[in-house]
Amino acid sequence: MRTQVAIIGGGPSGLLLSQLLHTRGIESVVLERKTKDYVLGRIRAGVLEQGLVGLMEEAGCAERLHAEGYPHDGTLLSYGNEMFRVDFKEHTGTPVMVYGQTEVTRDLYEAREKAGGLVEFNVEDVVIHDADGDAPYLTYSVNNEDRRIDCDFVAGCDGFHGVSRKTIPDDVRREYEKIYPFGWLGILSETPPVNHELIYANSPRGFALASMRNENLCRYYIQCSLNDKPEDWSDEAFWAEFKKRIPADQAEKLVTGPSIEKSIAPLRSFVTEPMRWGRLFLCGDAAHIVPPTGAKGLNTAASDVHYLFNGLREFYEKNSCAGIDAYSTKALARVWKAERFSWWFSSLMHRYPDQTDFDHKIQIAELEFLRSNTAAQKAMAENYVGLPY
């Protein structure tokens, strides 16, 4: 088989790139290791920047997002029983959109299917060949049958554990990593949100986050130990702990119910450089990971897709390599700013195992400065709603 762009990974990055290329008549094939149901079963991000909303519009996939998503003009930050609001609309003129990654992925799959786009599921043993030459190709198997795709370019959209990043030779690739000494235990429950905007809570017992998907579906998180397992936490234990970490007046109005999903995610900051090797381009989690504080993971994947899509368009429509040559530098410049913001927000809101009383006082001082300082709120709001592409 031959295509113009072979895309490894049928998560949001790979599907969005494929659909955007389709709008410009550029062919692609998506290879996905899992089944569609498995991909759609993963509960992940919930907050979209306007940049991603714009890309979904450009891809012709934003109808449901606009009908069912919730624009949020601000967020709440609490410490103990104190709480204040950062107004995104006032400081940046822009809201964020609450709409789950699962729904984004579902909309993209639907669009690819409608357009007759090829997505191969259950692919195994994908190997990228000759990415540093002019005629790259992929080999892989489906149901023990060997297959090959020849292409002009390979987009590595295969997440943190994919094959793409590791295809870049060790002497070319440089990795930067920070592991955090805790995880997030998240639950999904069919209950009304405790508040109409998100609450990020710094409590003496650790971080908590009240988020949502719709008026009867909540996503709540608490900071937990890396040794914890989801089955160690009964729903009752989760709710009891969550209530202790948010302000008392919020805890009082919290509606609890059975969890319909419960999982633990470790927190990591990670960047690989460069994001291009020959005709292979890395996008999204394949190239970088952020801790979820600030909801930058999916949104940073989207900005990579934007730069790569425009680079490929320039290649096919104007016969110019300028965009693809600039891809890694442009993408990384924005990635590092999202890394900085996620690291800063994580450091501000979590309880670290080796944290002293002094360190805690500094966190509270910084929260109080943020509470009272317009410039600090504006800087936070600009980062939260997403820096320009």
Give, as ranges, the residues between 109 and 128 that touch ligand RFL (CB under 6 A).
123, 126
Q: Is 292 in the site for ligand PHB (CB under 6 A)?
A: yes
Q: Is 159 in the site for ligand RFL (CB under 6 A)?
A: yes
Cα(61)–Cα(110) distance, integer angstroms: 9
Site string for ligand RFL, 255-274 (x = CB under 6 A): ----------x---------
Phi, psi torsion values for 26, nearest 5 degrees = -100, 125
For the bound state, the minimum distance from the C-beta of residue 116 to ligand RFL, rounded and expressed in Å, comes to: 21
C-alpha 264: how far from its chain's center?
A: 16
Residue 332: closest CA among 296, 287, 294: 287
Q: Is 295 in the site for ligand RFL (CB under 6 A)?
A: yes
Q: Is 346 in the site for ligand PHB (CB under 6 A)?
A: no
Cα(154)–Cα(281) distance, integer angstroms: 6
Q: Is 9 in the site for ligand RFL (CB under 6 A)?
A: yes
Contacts of 238 (CB under 8 A, 6+ apart): 185, 187, 220, 222, 259, 262
For the bound state, the minimum distance from the C-beta of residue 110 to ligand RFL, rounded and expressed in Å, comes to: 16
Residue 167: closest CA among 135, 126, 134: 126
Q: Which of 72, 262, 330, 350 is catalytic?
A: 72
Please give the sequence-ordered ranges of beta strands (E in DSSP) within 143-239, or none if there are none.
145-150, 153-156, 174-189, 199-203, 206-214, 217-224
Contacts of 258 (CB under 8 A, 6+ apart): 189, 190, 235
For the bound state, the minimum distance from the C-beta of residue 234 to ligand RFL, rounded and expressed in Å, comes to: 21
User: Taking the CA of residue 338 as centre, how many other CA atoms within 13 Å lie in the half-sphere pointing to its CB?
Assistant: 32
Q: Is 46 in the site for ligand PHB (CB under 6 A)?
A: yes
User: What is the β-pairing status of strands 96-98 and 47-48?
Assistant: antiparallel
Based on the residue annotation, tell me whether 296 is a catalytic residue of this protein: yes
Shorter beta-carbon distance to ligand PHB: residue 92 or 101: 101
Give, as ranges, the residues between 90 and 129 that touch ligand PHB (CB under 6 A).
none
Q: Is 219 in the site for ligand PHB (CB under 6 A)?
A: yes
Q: Which of 22, 288, 296, 330 is catalytic?
A: 296
Q: Is 32 in the site for ligand RFL (CB under 6 A)?
A: yes
**3-class secondary-structure state, position 188:** strand
Based on the residue annotation, tell me whether 72 is a catalytic residue of this protein: yes
Output the CA angle 142-143-149, nearest 5 degrees: 20
Residue 9: closest CA among 156, 206, 191, 184: 156
Contacts of 3 (CB under 8 A, 6+ apart): 27, 28, 29, 118, 149, 150, 151
Based on the residue annotation, tell me whether 316 is a catalytic residue of this protein: no
First vs last C-alpha separation in the chain: 34
Nearest residue to the partner ligand PHB, using Cβ: 46
Residue 193, binding choice from ligand PHB, ligand RFL, none, Cβ under 5 to 8 Å by partner class: none
Q: Is 245 in the site for ligand PHB (CB under 6 A)?
A: no
Shorter beta-carbon distance to ligand RFL: residue 221 or 315: 221
Shorter beta-carbon distance to ligand PHB: residue 152 or 285: 285
- How many residues bind ligand RFL, per CB under 6 A? 34
Q: Which residues bind ligand RFL (CB under 6 A)?
A: 8-14, 31-34, 39, 44-46, 101, 123, 126, 157-163, 265, 284-285, 292, 295-298, 301
The set of catalytic residues is 72, 200, 292, 296, 384
Site residues, ligand PHB (CB under 6 A): 45-47, 198, 209, 211, 219, 292-295
